[in-house]
Amino acid sequence: MSKDKKEAKKYKASAAAKAELRKKEDLPFFSTRLIKLLVTILFSIISIIYVLPVFIVFMNSFKLNTFVKTDTFKWPSGNMFAKFANYTKGMTFGNYPFYKSVLFSILITVISTFLILLFTSMAAWYIARVDNLICKIVYYLFIFSMVVPFQMVMFTLAKTADTLKLNTPWTIPIVYLGFGAGLASFMFTGFIRSIPLEIEEAAAMDGCGPIRTFFQVVLPMLKPTMISVGILEIMWIWNDYLLPYLSLNRTEYMTIPIHIQYLQGSYGAVNLGAIMALITLSILPVIIFYLICQKYIIKGVAAGAVKG
């Protein structure tokens, strides 16, 4: 066989091998794209299912009360369109003004979130750095509190809150501190364990005491987790119904969820249009707040999961 024929045969074999390899490479690539497309479609459908109830509530907030019951899934138009009458009636209904409920919800949410962020971050720093038997027990108690359903302790808790005079908007944040400490301490502890100890040792060599080290060195580094924990706690406390309902004196103090629940007239008559309007007003700030800050939740959770 001549040299040229050998070269030609070798070239054909090489080209065939490359073509076969290209086919094998193209198949996983195509499969990956197909899987991503199917996953995207699946989660898009799930997202629509989750958003649909919120959209229905918003849509019904512009309908007259009668049509909310009979034409729940129809777009508000013609005779059923109530404009902003439901919002006006919802905010002025009854003897308890809606603005007071908004103020109490804001007060409880802000104070509770502040206490949770401050005290749990300090506790997590101590647990992560001391790491003795007592700290481990306390840490696992924090984790255990995350899996205890509120329904198991709600009646005992309500009795305790009444006994200790924790049944006002200014004192109920202490109760929220106890319930919110589990998740917050877990996330803070995981993040602090990923911080090099040498940074705090350098601060101590420069003359910083424990309190100054925490507030000037550790706390600024906790910003990602602090933001994510704050967002989660705000969403929970703002929407919470059971704890304020069981603890607060409802004749004097109402949060937004309690106010909506009591939005009914005599003989059990309920204005569903006004209720839908107030539900929309209550969830809209939380949705906007979450959409703005959702990237910090992902960063904070990922940062807290480095070590733990």
pLDDT in tens, 253-283: 888 888 888 776 544 567 788 888 888 888 8
**Would the pLDDT of 1 be above 80?**
no
At the topology level, CATH places domain 89-304 in MetI-like fold (1.10.3720)
- The answer to whether the CB of 237 falls within 8 A of the CB of 109 is yes
- Lookup result for tokens 């995981």: 190
**Would the pLDDT of 6 be above 90?**
no
Note the pLDDT of residue 237: 92
Note the pLDDT of residue 266: 47
Rounded distance between C-alpha atoms, residue 189 and residue 181, angstroms: 12
| Average pLDDT score over residue span 232-257 | 87
Rounded distance between C-alpha atoms, residue 61 and residue 281, angstroms: 10
Q: Could you give the count of Cα atoms lying within 13 Å of 57 in the half-sphere of its Cβ? A: 15
Confidence of residue 125 (pLDDT cuts 50, 70, 90): very high
Note the pLDDT of residue 308: 42
- Specify the higher pLDDT residue, 123 or 98: 123
Domain ranges of the chain: 3-60, 89-304
Q: Evaluate if pTM is beyond 0.85.
A: no
Which neighbouring-strand residues pair with 81?
A: 63
Q: What is the pLDDT of residues 88-101, one digit of tens each?
A: 887 877 677 888 88
Confidence of residue 224 (pLDDT cuts 50, 70, 90): confident
Note the pLDDT of residue 28: 56
Number of H helices, E strands in the chain: 14, 0
**Would the pLDDT of 17 be above 60?**
no
**Would the pLDDT of 143 be above 90?**
no
The terminus-to-terminus CA distance of the chain in angstroms comes to 70
Note the pLDDT of residue 162: 85
* Of residues 177, 179, 188, the one with CA closest to residue 225: 188
Q: Which residues contact 279 (CB under 8 A, 6 or more apart)?
A: 57, 61, 260
Rounded distance between C-alpha atoms, residue 62 and residue 86, angstroms: 7
Rounded distance between C-alpha atoms, residue 93 and residue 269, angstroms: 13
Mean pLDDT score across all residues of the chain: 81
| Average pLDDT score over residue span 75-88 | 83
* Of residues 281, 276, 279, 282, the one with CA closest to residue 64: 276
Rounded distance between C-alpha atoms, residue 255 and residue 169, angstroms: 9
Rounded distance between C-alpha atoms, residue 122 and residue 137, angstroms: 17
Confidence of residue 44 (pLDDT cuts 50, 70, 90): very high
* Of residues 158, 122, 153, the one with CA closest to residue 138: 122
Q: What is the pLDDT of residues 202-215, one digit of tens each?
A: 888 888 888 888 88
Q: What is the pLDDT of residues 145-164, one digit of tens each?
A: 888 888 888 888 888 888 88
Q: At what angle do helices 223-239 and 272-304 cross, to 10 degrees?
A: 160
**Would the pLDDT of 71 be above 70?**
yes
Confidence of residue 5 (pLDDT cuts 50, 70, 90): low
Range among 219-223, 247-251, 268-272 rated most confident:
219-223
- The answer to whether the CB of 184 falls within 8 A of the CB of 122 is no
